[in-house]
Amino acid sequence: MAEINVRALEIANEVIREPGNEHIILAGNICNTNLYVPNDSKSRETVLAMFREQCEFAKKGGAELIVAETIG
């Protein structure tokens, strides 16, 4: 799965680097999860590890910012 996520960002990065696309910013995404349980340190650590991994995918793929959608 990591390879797919990183490659998708790399392809998008190639497209936005073409002439005329200088104003486009490449964003990575952190997606929601149902694994978090309030006041449960194990689930908290699991979710944090997932978010870190997703941020690493984005960084490796060349993302310039991270979007975190409806997390709560």
Give the C-alpha separation, 6 to 19, whole Å. 23
**pTM of this structure:** 0.77
The predicted pLDDT at position 51 comes to 92
**Mean pLDDT split into 10-residue runs, the chain, 72 residues:** 84 89 88 87 93 90 88 70
The predicted pLDDT at position 72 comes to 65
User: Closest Cα to residue 60, out of 3, 14, 22?
Assistant: 3
